[in-house]
Structure 1
Amino acid sequence: MSYIGQETSTATIQTICSDADVFVVCYSAVQPQSFKNVKEKWLPRIRNFMGDIPFVLVATQTDLRKNPAVLKQLQNKGLKPVSQNEGYALSKRTDYACYVECAPHMERKVKQVIDKAISSVLIPQGDRMEMQSCTIL
């Protein structure tokens, strides 16, 4: 629903999301603005429109956190990659079903994202508290 440089209207979000059972909310570990958007825009919107719907928080491109070229680009802008601890801390402050870190070459992790999204819907809301410790790194 989020496209770089484009805003999605509130009405569009409500229409698209009205039948959702779970959200997979992603941010790039090497694009701090995407993490900020998740924290300040998407998570509040999901909670506002969808209440207690479960979500899986996913850090993508985690393999690039240590890439010298990426680090140099970020450093030139006065930025740094979003750390694993920052992602985990955000997931702990919010009512998440699971926190997952993945990269394109980590096919098993991508499958785990999908599996956790499905299981968060199948587990009754009262039992989700046991899932609060779910972190896949």
Structure 2
Amino acid sequence: MMCGVTQEWHCKETLSNGVRDFRVKTETSSSPQQRQPAFSYNRTHSLLMGREVKITVVGDSEVGKTCLCISYATNSFPTEYVPTVFDNYNTKAVIEGNPMDILIFDTAGDAEYDSIRSLNYSGTDVFLICFSVLSTQSAEGVIKKWAEEVRGKCPDANIILIGTKCDMRSDATAVTDSTTVSALKNTTGMEPISKEQGTQLAEVIGAQKFMECSALTGMGLSAIFEESIKLVLHPKLPPKPAPEKIKGCIVQ
């Protein structure tokens, strides 16, 4: 269900500044990470009109929220880290025969923006709450901060829990690149967060689904946004949070 926080128009007008320069720089980059789109649905920029869907991305700093947004919207991985305050990205898609205008709002995870971040939440159809599968701390933030913040402003919000950077996990079942599987492990010395733990965490916060992605390889990105739009096309009440399932989960 769409979030009904006030100040929508002020928010959209303010957040539109500065996005164009950053996107153009990304799209024109000769980055070796640039790749061709590989989507399961027909995505095109020739659509003239479509139903508007707003997706807001939240989570701790440096979990890969901005890379997720840019990689999906431009089909290229950004080569520079640019700390986000608030940015938005527009793209178009056809899902189940329905043309869609997708507005993606990227937010800052820093505590200094806590008082203004919720201005983005107005009119949001789906929230993507993100954590890195390499960071237990960012997963703890899902319960201790992000789910509470989103539910506090938008009690009936659609939420998909997103595990980012899954290409860097040593779990071979979650990664398709065999080189990545053997080359990288959690730099903190802790075990990466598994799919099972992510699914359990989604149940704890009452998210509709847990999904994983890699902004670097593009794995899982199209599926996340396709699923987000399907939640809008086929609305239903989100599941209730299940805090009793926190036992044995990442956060205890």
With the length of structure 1 as denominator, give the TM-score of the two structures.
0.76
- For residue 142 of structure 2, what is the aligned residue in structure 1? 38
Task: Determine the C-alpha separation between the residues in 2 that align with 1:60 and 1:22.
Answer: 17
User: 1:66-77 counterparts in 2 under 5 A?
Assistant: 66=170, 70-71=184-185, 73-75=187-189
1:101 and 2:212 aligned:
yes
Q: Is the 8 A contact 2:186 2:192 kept in 1?
A: no
Relative to total residues, which structure has the larger strand share, 1 or 2? 2
Matched, 1:18 2:129: no
Alignment of 1:1-137 (within 5 A): 1=58, 2-4=60-62, 6-66=110-170, 70-71=184-185, 73-75=187-189, 79-103=190-214, 104-107=216-219, 109-126=220-237
SS of alignment partner, residue 74 of structure 1: coil
Tell me the TM-score normalized by structure 2: 0.44
**What is the aligned partner in structure 1 of residue 105 from structure 2?**
none
CA RMSD, Structure 1 to Structure 2 (Å):
2.3
Q: Structure 2: which 5+ runs fail to align?
A: 1-57, 63-108, 171-180, 240-252
Cα 1:54–1:29, aligned 2, differ >3 Å: closer, same or farther? same
Could you list the per-position Cα deviations for residues 28-82 of structure 1 after superposition, in whole angstroms to 9, with x for gaps in the alignment? 101221111112110111111110110111111112111566436221xxx2211
Tell me if the contact between 1:98 and 1:116 (Cα under 8 Å) persists in the aligned partners: no
Deviation at 1:98, TM superposition (A): 1.9
Unaligned runs of 5+ in 1: 130-137
- The 3-state SS of whatever aligns with 1:118 is helix
The number of aligned residues is 124
Q: Which has the higher contact order (CA 8 A, sep 6+)?
A: 1
Say which structure is richer in helix: 1
Identity %: 23
- Paired with 2:133 and 2:146, the residues of 1 have a C-alpha distance of 16
